Copies of this chain bind each other. A is one copy, B any other.
Amino acid sequence: MDDPFVIVGGDAAGMSAASKAKRADPELDVIVFERGEWVSYAACGMPYYVKGTVEDLEDLVAVTPEEFREDRDVDLRTGHEVIAIDREEKTVTVEADGEQFEQPYGSVLIGTGARAVEPPFDGLELEGVYTLRSMDEADAIESFVTDREPERAAIVGGGYVGIEMAEALTERGVDVSIFEMLPRTLQPFGEQTAEIVEDHLRDQGVDLHLETAVQGFGGDGRVETVELEAETVAADLVVVGVGVTPNVDLAEKAGIELGPTGAIATDEYGRTNDEDVYAAGDCAEATNVVTGEPDHVPLALTANRAGRAIGSTVTGDPTPTGGTAGTAIVKAFELGAARTGVIDEDRALEAGFDPVSVTVQVPTRPHYYPGATDLTVTLVADRDSKRVLGASLVGRDGAKRIDTVATAVDTGLTVGELESLDLAYAPPFSPVWDPVLTAAKVLSGTIEG
């Protein structure tokens, strides 16, 4: 009998790997150690629990521990923390209920995820100050809003989480301020999209402070203020969402190599520098399909896909984990914003491209069909090869059109090839030239001068 497939961490990557491995080889022992109590939960749904859109926190769980154990025959052990990997002995050291034991493995998957970055703010320990990285914190914020009825929330960070939480808390009747250190929100989406989102946030009553560094929080036991450089503003609820950092301590201690992004380096099959040790999800790198370089994109699909691929690989069917285009979409009140590929000029230059971009505003339906709204499309290509590098979209409707560009980016299409795609048209759904095609047309013209 083979030594078991041991998985460290029971969320997207880990549980996808466990399920796939068990399905592919029911004889293989698959053991998942999860230090917390929640497994296989949709972290991306947490803001919607705070908002009240999702009624029960349990609704965010895709598959329950019982289902994993009983239906999928996965040996899932919650409350179990892996504290060391001994690659010589091929064992992991597990701590549970204050006891430790060794578990032998045939192969092991590190799926330890990422944690919220906690800047060195004073007052992080005050009551009413949260990050949003775990189900327990989502629960705590929701309870806090319900029980304490805060009046003024300060959100530190204008990324996805910040913007989703701004929407959630506004919906709950809380006045929201966002404090972002950089000159704009939604950094990976580019300036054109961010500006439209920012105007919309202001229209929705969010008090947006850009280029504003937070120093800390004040209060007596419970948070009362946010300390800025020049002033102090009142806040009785704080959510810090300034990004995540991969959990790599366990891997590092075991001599597993990290990549240039600081996440765990992997090959195309998700293998680390030890061929029996895999890594996937928010703790690991993935290959960027545009640059061909290692990238750290802690998003759900990448984690699910890589986990699933590794589940196949360890059971004898080597399956690449797939690249990432960094495709993302976020709802900001009434707007949808999406991005894919490389859109940042500096990053494109660094990767050896000569980026050219256009931004066009195109209605999502013909002028005569009611309900048309503008979609603003920023499309970026390499001047020389004309290859599509990336795009960002924003509008009330149609942000999912990013998938067309994601497909083009992933397959290395040129702007001309993107422009000549046969996309679907009928008045209730699109103008004759889909906004993506229009952007490609305009960008073609710009490149050809």
On chain B, the residues within 8 Å of A404 by CB distance are: 403-404, 407
Q: Which residues of B contact A432 (CB under 8 A)?
A: 12, 42, 300-301, 304
Indicate whether A324 reaches chain B with its CB closer than 8 angstroms.
yes
Contact between chains at B329 and A433 (CB < 8 Å): no
A218 at the interface (CB under 8 A from B): no
Interface residues of A in 394-447 (CB under 8 A from B): 398-404, 406-408, 410-411, 413, 417, 420-430, 432-434, 436
Instruction: Determine whether the beta carbon of A370 is less than 8 Å from that of B53.
Output: yes
User: Contacts A400-B430, A430-B329, A432-B304 given: A369-B53 contact, CB under 8 Å?
Assistant: yes
**A48 adjacent to chain B (CB < 8 Å):** yes
Tell me, yes or no, whether A83 is within 8 Å of chain B by CB: no
Write out the residue numbers on chain B whose beta carbons fall within 8 Å of the beta carbon of A301: 422-423, 425, 432-433
Q: Is the CB of A348 closer than 8 A to any CB of chain B?
A: no
Which of A106-114, A128-136, A330-338 is near enough to bind chain B? A330-338
CA A115 – CA B234 in complex, angstroms? 70
CB distance from A441 to the nearest CB of B (A): 9
Interface residue? A326 (CB, 8 A): yes
Contact A424 B411 (CB under 8 A): no
Is A54 part of the contact surface with B, judged by Cβ < 8 Å? Answer: yes
- A22: shortest Cβ distance to chain B, in Å? 15
Interface assignment of A322: CB less than 8 Å from any CB of chain B:
yes
Judge whether A410 and B403 touch: CB under 8 Å: no
Q: Does A327 contact B (CB under 8 A)?
A: yes
Known interface pairs A42-B366, A403-B404, A407-B407. Does A304 touch B433 (Cβ–Cβ under 8 Å)? Answer: yes
Bound form: Cα–Cα A433–B322 in Å: 14
**Complex CA distance for A260 and B169, rounded to whole angstroms:** 62
Instruction: Note all chain B residues with C-beta closer than 8 A to A42.
Output: 366, 368, 427, 432
For this complex, into which size category does the number of interface residues on chain A fall?
Answer: 35 or more
Once bound together, how far apart are the Cα atoms of A423 and B331, in whole Å?
16
0 or 1 for each of A334-373: is its CB under 8 Å from B? (1 = yes): 0010101000000000000000000000000011111000
Residues of B within 8 A of A53 (CB): 369-370
Tell me which of B368, B370, B422 contacts A340 (CB under 8 A): B422
B402 touches A424 (CB 8 A): yes
Q: Is A421's CB under 8 angstroms from B407's CB?
A: yes
Task: Tell whether A323 is near chain B: CB-to-CB under 8 Å.
Answer: yes
A328 within 8 A of B: yes
Give CA–CA (A327, B434) in the complex, Å.
Answer: 12
Q: Is A44 an interface residue (CB 8 A)?
A: yes
Measured between alpha carbons, how far is A54 from B427 in the docked complex, in Å? 11
Task: From known contacts A53-B369, A305-B420, A369-B53, infer whether A329 and B425 are also in contact, taking CB-CB under 8 Å.
Answer: yes
Residue of chain B at shortest CB distance from A48:
B427
CB distance from A102 to the nearest CB of B (A): 34
Evaluate contact between B429 and A399: CB separation under 8 angstroms: yes
**C-beta contact mask, A252-268 vs B, less than 8 Å → 1, else 0?**
00000000000000000
**Additional 17 contacts, C-beta under 8 A, given A336-B428, A340-B424:** A44-B427, A45-B366, A48-B369, A289-B422, A299-B425, A300-B432, A301-B425, A324-B422, A326-B422, A327-B423, A327-B425, A338-B424, A399-B424, A400-B429, A403-B436, A406-B421, A407-B421
Q: List 17 A-B contacts (CB under 8 A).
A: A12-B432, A44-B426, A45-B368, A48-B428, A160-B426, A299-B425, A302-B422, A324-B422, A325-B422, A327-B423, A331-B428, A398-B400, A399-B424, A407-B413, A407-B421, A408-B411, A410-B421
